[in-house]
Amino acid sequence: MSEETLFTRIVEDEIPSDTVYEDETTYAFLDVNPLAPGHTLVIPKEPYERLSELPPAEAADVFSVLGEITAAVEAAVDADGTTIALNNGEAAGQEVPHVHWHIIPQFEDDTARPIHALFDGAELSDEERSEIAARIRDNR
Ligand code: 5GP
């Protein structure tokens, strides 16, 4: 866990933000470079870098409010849906090393697109898929 990140400075009010939610463990605020109106970031206050570092109790805290904040974002900007995304690690495009969920409103008549549009797709045989599933089970 890092000691301080850009987002801990936001939580501590050293950097101003448009805060939309706060409790003992969780914080949510508008993204300063929004991909859509209402683009919101939800974070644990503690600066865990990756999802796998987030202790289950704090993950439960974040998830207990994520749906509620998402509904409020959708209502606030009259969105038809939302993409909830987490860039986990630099290779996935994570720029701020403090785990965070993006809530990105989508609009049917606008640029709505599924997460599948981000990837080229991988051609795998049934055997290759089964082997990957076995390796995932073994690594848990
Ligand atoms: P990542 O690429 O790490 O998943 O996303 C980091 C997000 O943080 C980006 O969408 C970026 O716009 C947002 N961001 C970066 N600096 C600031 C800031 O100072 N304030 C706010 N509110 N958002 C920020």
- 140 residues of the chain, pLDDT tens digit each: 668 999 999 999 999 999 999 999 999 999 999 999 999 999 999 999 999 999 999 999 999 999 999 999 999 999 999 999 999 999 999 999 999 999 999 998 766 678 888 889 999 999 999 999 999 999 99
- Ligand 1 centroid–CA 12 distance in Å is 16
Interval between CA 92 and ligand 1 midpoint (Å): 14
Gap between the terminal Cα atoms of the chain: 21
CB atoms within 10 A of CB 28: 26
Is 98 part of the annotated catalytic residue set?
no
CA–CA gap between residue 102 and residue 73 (Å, rounded): 11
Torsion of CA 10, 83, 91, 12, to 10 degrees: 10
Quote the CA–CA distance of 23 and 42 in Å, as a whole number: 11
Atom of ligand 1 nearest to the CA of 6: 19
